[in-house]
Amino acid sequence: MSSVGIDAVPGPGRSAGWLDKEHTIAGAGFNRWLVPPAALAIHLCIGMAYGFSVFWLPLSKALGIKESIKCGPDVGFFQELFITSCDWKVSTLGWMYTLFFVFLGCSAALWGGWLERAGPRKAGVVSALCWCGGMLISALGIHSHQFWLMILGSGVIGGIGLGLGYISPVSTLIKWFPDRRGMATGMAIMGFGGGAMIGSPLAAELMKSFATSTDVGVTQTFVVMALVYFVFMMGGALGYRVPPTGWKPEGWTPPAAQTGNAMITQRHVHVKKVWGIPQFWLVWVVLCMNVSAGIGVIGMASPMLQEVFGGSLIGVPAKFVELDKAQLATIAGVAAGFTALLSLFNIGGRFFWASLSDKLGRKMTYVVFFVLGGLLYASIPSSAAAGSTLLFVGAICVILSMYGGGFATVPAYLADLFGTQMVGAIHGRLLTAWATAGILGPVVVNYMRDYQLGLGLPREQVYNQTMYILVGMLAVGLVANLMVKPVDARHFMSDEELAQEKKLARERAAASEAGMVAGTSAATSPVIVVLAWAAVGIPLAWGVYKTLINVGKFFH
């Protein structure tokens, strides 16, 4: 591998440590295609947050092993944090999932500015320590049956690792791929969506291996996964390189100079100013509405399919409430295959839509999300009433692709509007929209379902009103997106402010100072690039294979 710029001169009065940003400046001939697998190595690990539900049922029987030892009616949530004589409820364990995304959003917002100055390597290492260390603390909590340790370990400390790991590659990838911003961030954020595809079956295999007549095997699984994840995440963090200031791909002309696209700025906004810029809040609403609608459907996709189509899923002419236990178990297997199918569309959509946004433009891509998404949500009650499983499933699959695509496209949208200097920090602040949507979406879907059931509606009709509410959310997002205009010149940093910020971020003033000139000799060996992609590609391919096996249950 080529030099990585370790001879870069640190600031006055300080010596550069190997984690510092100036030690990650790429040297001459560095291949930018080594950066996406480094980002994927981290995102595929922290993406297991989506798959933690695989632990809920075993943990709900951690003491009883065969059957849960139920707590008394007087034992509330706070007592469950410390009690050691009865098993945790699945609903209690589910709070871990909520904490993941609350702390992801909060940590990304709080420490995004630090990340821009410290660099992606240091942020990646901190993320690895928090995420994997949190899992080890959780393992201790499971072993001692102290739920508060799980909350502290994976929920709080792990959630902080999630936030830092999630945004760590964003700014770096956008700077390495100014010609393909959407595709670059799509590749990394695809990894976050794919993490559960690898982690969930891996966890299931490990629990099966470690389980005994007196132990459900979750403690050992947490320890092993923490150690494996630590190796991958550290490898990813150490693989990060940042381009020198002024670097650009050979032969590439910036879009503004090339096409006069006013939506893509060549200037930069400071993160501390974004709270007061209307475009930031419009994009915040855009992301929040897109995610709220999608995440609400994700949480209810399996029961919705079962309740809407009932026995027709297995060729039995009966409604859901008329099925016996064996038939219910069979359609639950079909629904599990449906959920696996959705995960593939969620992941594939992250790469597909983000890459397409490089051609369509970010604003137009979100117009497609909201208009096409609204039509598909509105079609679901009709396809359900007609008994058309194909149309129903097809609509939700495309919806989930756009849900994932929204996450992957928004970093490039921010870079277009606010510049690349602090886009990672700005993205971190924007993720508060995700934390909000993580509460809003499920609450709307779940409470509307319960309300409709309370009115006495048949189970196959209880989701109809909800779909129209989600269409309304997308309409709000569409209006906000259409209102996005280029950022006013007064919000951008002056040349002096930008120079000061670059000094604080310890970047070189020009590409030549870091010794990097596009097209020079001493290029990275293609073998290293292939090995880097194989390191993340093989586990991802295994996860896809395992997922396709589950998808087969649906089509069977």
Supply the pLDDT for residue 513: 44
Q: What is the mean pLDDT of residues 452-477?
A: 86
Report how far residue 299's alpha carbon sits from residue 447's, in angstroms, rounded to the nearest whole number: 12
Q: What is the mean pLDDT of residues 47-69?
A: 88
Report how far residue 141's alpha carbon sits from residue 247's, in angstroms, rounded to the nearest whole number: 48
24 is a domain residue: no
Total tally of structural domains belonging to the chain: 2
Distance from the Cα of residue 47 to its chain's centroid: 6
Supply the pLDDT for residue 75: 81
Which one is predicted more confidently, 289 or 498? Answer: 289
State whether 525 and 443 are in the same domain. no
pLDDT digits (tens, 9 = 90+) for 507-523: 654 444 444 434 333 57
Other CB atoms within 10 Å distance of the CB of residue 508: 22
State whether 243 and 219 are in the same domain. yes
What is the H or E stretch that residue 173 is in? Answer: helix 170-176
Last residue of a domain, one of 443, 465, 487: 487
Domain of 514 in residue numbering reads as 32-252+494-556
19 is a domain residue: no
Report how far residue 436's alpha carbon sits from residue 108's, in angstroms, rounded to the nearest whole number: 14
7 is a domain residue: no
Which one is predicted more confidently, 294 or 21? Answer: 294
CATH number of the structural domain spanning residue 441: 1.20.1250.20
Encode 198-217: b = buried (16+ Cβ within 10 Å), e = exposed: bbbbbbbebbeebbeeeebb
pLDDT digits (tens, 9 = 90+) for 87-120: 988 878 888 877 888 898 889 999 988 998 889 9
State whether 102 and 236 are in the same domain. yes
Q: What is the mean pLDDT of the chain?
A: 86
Percentage of the chain lying above the pLDDT 90 cut? 48
Instruction: At 212, give phi and psi (nearest 5°).
Output: -135, -175
pLDDT digits (tens, 9 = 90+) for 292-342: 998 878 767 777 888 888 888 888 888 888 888 888 888 888 887 888 888
State whether 455 and 521 are in the same domain. no
Last residue of a domain, one of 487, 504, 523: 487
346 is a domain residue: yes
Which of 417, 400, 429, 399 has the alpha carbon at shortest distance from 362? Answer: 417
10 is a domain residue: no
Last residue of a domain, one of 487, 505, 526: 487
Report how far residue 162's alpha carbon sits from residue 465's, in angstroms, rounded to the nearest whole number: 34
20 is a domain residue: no
Which of 312, 436, 324, 450 has the alpha carbon at shortest distance from 385? Answer: 312
Angle between helices 432-454 and 95-118 (to 10 degrees): 160
State whether 177 and 318 are in the same domain. no
Which of 405, 441, 190, 191 has the alpha carbon at shortest distance from 298? Answer: 441
Distances (CA, A) of 427 to 193, 247, 299, 368, 491: 17, 22, 25, 22, 17
Distances (CA, A) of 214 to 63, 65, 88: 8, 7, 17
Distances (CA, A) of 91 to 94, 179, 184, 492: 5, 46, 37, 47
17-26, 143-152, 267-276, 290-299: least confidently modelled range: 17-26
The region that residue 131 occupies, defined by phi over 0 for left and psi between -120 and 50 for alpha, beta otherwise, is alpha
Report how far residue 44's alpha carbon sits from residue 189's, in angstroms, rounded to the nearest whole number: 9
Within 483-525, residue ranges assigned H as helices are 495-504
Which of 189, 196, 58, 172 has the alpha carbon at shortest distance from 118? Answer: 172
User: How much is the CA Rg of the chain, to the nearest whole Å?
Assistant: 24
State whether 483 and 505 are in the same domain. no
Q: What is the DSSP string of 526-544?
A: HHHHHHHHHHHHHHHHHHH
Distances (CA, A) of 124 to 21, 36, 39, 230, 493: 12, 14, 9, 11, 28
State whether 498 and 458 are in the same domain. no
pLDDT digits (tens, 9 = 90+) for 341-362: 888 999 999 999 999 999 999 9
The answer to whether 434 and 253 are in contact (CB under 8 A) is no
State whether 274 and 371 are in the same domain. yes
Strand, coil or helix: what is 202? helix
Sign of CA dihedral 246, 251, 255, 258: positive
Helix and strand totals (H; E) in the chain: 21, 0
388 is a domain residue: yes
- Residue 13's pLDDT band (boundaries 50, 70, 90)? very low
State whether 137 and 262 are in the same domain. no
State whether 311 and 396 are in the same domain. yes
Distances (CA, A) of 205 to 54, 96, 220, 273, 331: 11, 22, 12, 48, 24
40 is a domain residue: yes
State whether 200 and 279 are in the same domain. no
Our CA angle for 243, 259, 351, nearest 5°, is 55
The answer to whether 107 and 46 are in contact (CB under 8 A) is no
pTM of the predicted model, to two decimals?
A: 0.85
Distances (CA, A) of 122 to 31, 239, 316: 21, 11, 57
Sign of CA dihedral 96, 102, 106, 111: positive
Supply the pLDDT for residue 253: 77
Q: What is the mean pLDDT of residues 429-447?
A: 84
Report how far residue 183's alpha carbon sits from residue 179's, in angstroms, rounded to the nearest whole number: 9
Q: What is the dihedral of CA 52, 58, 63, 65, to 10 degrees?
A: -170
- Residue 506's pLDDT band (boundaries 50, 70, 90)? low
Q: What is the DSSP string of 374-404?
A: HHHHHHHHHHHHTT-HHHHHHHHHHHHHHHH
State whether 465 and 498 are in the same domain. no
